[in-house]
Amino acid sequence: MARIDMSKVSLFEATSEQDEISRKRNYAEWAKGLDLEGYLRRDKIVDTHEHAVNGKLKTWVLASVDDSKTLDFFCACETFQRQGLIQKPTSTEPEKVIAYGISSVYCPPENRGKGYAIHMMRLLHYILAPADSLGVFPEEWGSPPIQPSGLGNASFSMLWSEIGGDLYERAGYNHSLPGWKPHEYVSTVWQYRNMVEHFGRVRWLLEVDCVRLWDEDAIFVEKKFSELGHEEKKITCAFLPNGGVAAFQIRRVLMYLPGSPHLPIPKHWGVEILGENERAYATWVTEIGSSPASLTITRLRTTEKTFPIILSAIMEAAKQNCCTNVEIWNLDSSLNKIAMEFGGEGSQSSKCLPSLAWYGPESAEHVKFLFNENSFQRGIAIADVDCWNRAGTGMLTKVGLMSPVTCTTARVKLKNTLIAKLSMKATAPFVLSALFAFTQCQIITLPPAVSSGFKQEDLDRLWQSVEQILPVTTADVTEVLEPLQNFSVGPDPPRFRPAYLQANTSNLKLPEGFKYGVATAATQVEGAVKTDGRGPSNWDWACHNYVSWCNNIPPDVTINHYYLYKRDIQRAKAMGVNTMSFSISWSRVFPFGLSNSPVNEEAFQYYDSYIDELLANDIEPVVTLFHWDTPLNLISEYHAFLDGRIVDDYANYAETIFRRYGNKVNMWITFNEPKLLKAHATAVQRYRSLKEQGVIADGQIALKHDGSRPVPFDPNSLSDNELVERHSDLYIGIFSQPIYGNGNYPDRVLDAIPSNILPRLTPEDQALIKGSADFYAIDAYTTQVAKTPPNGIEACAKNISDPNWPICQDVSGDIPQYSTVTGWALGAAADPLSSWLGDTSSLLRYQLNWLYDNFPAPGGIYISEFGFAEPFEYDRTELYQITWDERRATYLLDYLNEALLAIYEDGIPLKGTFIWSLADNYEWNLATQQRFGLQHVNYSTPDLQRSYKLSFFQEPPG
């Protein structure tokens, strides 16, 4: 077979056209089930990520010196610039250096066996390494390749070979020196086994948690590296495990999963042991395309004491992800005995063989690469797998995520601004909503903002950023269905509660004008997210690109209310409600969000028809303007709710809606479970101005609060009673007092939270906010228990890094729904997925009386949401079992019973109640698994069939 004339070829940085050809060539071997379009789209996505930007990722082609830009090049490879560490025995501290990982070495079949690949790898040294470290370029190779600006700075480079070490070891930068010297390693493998008896108290880690931990370990590596170098008596080197490495492990799996539909989408990517003095955790990925399926540990820190607990959690993760095997590389020797006791088998492995090229003056024989990043002794073991690429022959492929530091910063900001509220229904969904509204914590590069023009192609680009990993799905029904003819509710269910249980309200009636309604929200019920000109929201972007946050189901379809609303309204009327609370999708009305962007008239056509349908059925519409869905373009434009410009854009959106529907809608909610006072107050100001001008009809406006005034864990504890007041002020008073009180935050809030975290309200702010609500609305699902943390309130309050700061309530476990005095629960527990929720109806009057005493409103009080998650409803398979939601039905009757007593015995001006929800829907980070509906939705049927539950038939007492 003819060999190449090495003087006639050289190595060149690939043009964009050559880069695409290279990817198309290796598609057939490395796609792992993806189609070509998906494979190329995946690469285009990851080219924009942290590891690749600013020239850190480059593709190289071996081509003729006479035609460097030819698309008929011989072979190609990729390099990734990474930060490395070097520790010399004579140095006291490790040195941070530039190093490179090499990946995607690919030679087409027709060019194999001719020496192209080995010569490309020889020339690559002259691209990466300082020229003076390589000696004289061999004359028979012609001229050395041109070294682009910014390269030639490597201290070492690494690749991971799937074809053994011979080829790459022979690819030296001259005839006498080796190229990449292979290092053997030990692989420890377990077959899945149940280890539940060793399971301990752990926290399952989401993607952001794993990235944060890897970032922390980069610091740990630096501290320990000098000790390791001196122990080895050699020069030691390694890559630092940050800069997108942890993120890469996860993103690679998610990007390949569309090609492996038989595999589940992982929900968690690691586990951490709680309560240990020293950090103990593991992170993992599932190996796509392997047989048998394997859960591979990407990073491990543990001790002999914690290893059985960690291993038991790993086994549970393997079961959840359909993995037969578990694999750890270079397990610390101190853990080998325990590993063998639990069935682990260790062996030397040649798979993904790590190989090092050293560019220092010392001989490579005196250099040791800690190739799985680290393997620390003295009881702390860290293992790190760094061999996950699209080719399987190199280190990193094109991936990258975010700066873990900035993500951590964003999480702190969320907490410090009280967005991450305390174990309530809003917590996970709004943390998610806010997390992705804040680009400090972006998980995949956000699309460029659209600030002008606002063309269809601009909207298409926004949607392309949503569909980087997972395309938007559509419902089977894509036309509005008219109400059914001859509709019937069906037979009543049997009576399930004795009449005497409501004897104290049997003669009481709901007051005239009382709003007895149900509630929904656009993101949770509409679906049709990419239909009729709607723009993407934070939820669309987050749940498509970061699916584990959303229980692996984006809100593309939900219950398809967009097309089924007429029949849903028909079914609501049959229930006997006179009011329905729903939200309008900001990004459906303003696809680009900005005040200078066009209104989507098709959205108005939908909401026109929706409101008219309610009125035609004698159901009063109550409209919420914002229920946690932010236009994605505002996030790209100026970080949305991190920037004051959101006030004007939101107020413009609100005024547009007021003008359109102000003569049909008389009750308005600015924000669901509020986070922003100035935006709320500005919208109210515009609403009242329109009323005064006679542009719209008279009506009422406010916002919806959430949470509860807790009861003390121990009524005889002074600190628990103090915590009741602290919780009430920092959770409810922080939003309520400025509106319904003196215009400013409560004193406890001002004392607890420094001004650099919670900017103080100016006199102008206070004047704007005070009185900016006509009624008081609260989502009163349950009552919490206030328990003092172990270190006390005072110590917590002084320590901003305390996990319980600023409220300083003990949330180390689930909120305890019981009292230390009685030992009894406050009421029946809801489903474990909603562990914050219980039937605390006996305390509803306690709540309403406190609210009325502290925040009186001229328009009275509304319970804007209350509802219950029937335990394990999602596990039931027979319809008759699903629809018999007795605990939910009891909860609703109990609450309505107490509401009547609050009106007639306590004199509370309670004006209405809204049950969550009309039907099962998309429960935020729990997606469609958690069920709150009065109607069952069968997600396996094309028309998402609804069925009334027992709770639907429970009329208000009296």
Of the segments 78-87, 409-418, 541-550, which one has the largest average pLDDT value? 78-87
The model scores a pTM over 0.75: no
pLDDT bin (cut points 50, 70, 90) of residue 835 is confident
Query: Could you please report the per-residue DSSP string of 824-883?
Result: -BSS-B--GGGTT-B--GGGHHHHHHHHHHHS--TT-EEEEEE----TTGGG--SHHHHS
- Ranges 64-68, 113-117, 223-227, 265-269: which has the least confidence: 223-227
What one-character-per-residue DSSP string does 744-764 give? S--HHHHHHS-TTTSPPPPHH
The model's confidence at residue 687, banded by pLDDT at 50, 70 and 90, is very high
Enclosing H/E stretch for 284: strand 281-286
pLDDT grade for 400, boundaries at 50, 70 and 90: very low
Phi/psi region, residue 315 (left: phi>0; alpha: psi -120 to 50; beta: rest), is: alpha
pLDDT over threshold 70, residue 418 = no
Task: Report which listed range, 208-222, 533-547, 893-907, is most confident.
Answer: 893-907
Residue 343 has pLDDT above 70, yes or no: yes
pLDDT (tens digit per residue) in 908-953? 999 999 999 999 999 998 999 999 999 999 999 999 999 999 999 8
Please indicate whether residue 577 or residue 431 has the higher confidence score (pLDDT).
577
Mean pLDDT of the chain: 84
Backbone angles phi, psi at 58, to 5 degrees: -140, 145
For the cut 90, the answer to whether the pLDDT of residue 226 exceeds it is: no
pLDDT score for 501: 65
Confidence (pLDDT) at 892: 95
Q: Among candidates 736, 735, 832, 817, which has minimal Cα distance to 782?
A: 817
**Residue 911 or 499, more confident:** 911
438-474 pLDDT, tens digit each: 333 333 568 899 999 999 999 999 999 998 778 899 9
Residue count of the chain: 958
673 is catalytic: yes
Average pLDDT over residues 880-901: 95
**Mind listing the pLDDT tens digit for each residue in 41-66?**
777 767 767 777 788 899 999 999 99
The count of other CB atoms within 10 Å of the CB of residue 883 is: 18
By C-alpha distance, which of 52, 27, 22, 26 is closest to 39? 27
* pLDDT band (50, 70, 90) for residue 955: confident
Give the pLDDT of residue 682: 97
**Which of 45-54, 486-495, 560-569, 947-956 is least confident?**
45-54
Gap between the Cα atoms of 423 and 835, Å rounded: 8
Pairing of strands 57-64, 711-712: unpaired
Q: 9 or 399: which carries more pLDDT confidence?
A: 9
363-380 burial string, b = 16+ CB within 10 Å, else e? ebeebbbbbbbbbbeeeb
Catalytic residue among 287, 373, 673, 870: 673
Q: Which two tokens stand for residue 299?
A: 């990073």
When mean pLDDT is compared across 479-488, 532-541, 543-552, 618-627, the lowest value belongs to 543-552
Band of the pLDDT at 382, cuts 50, 70, 90? Answer: very low
Mean pLDDT value of segment 412-418: 32
Quote the DSSP letter at residue 162.
S
Between 24 and 220, whose confidence is greater? 24
| pLDDT of the residue at 885 | 96
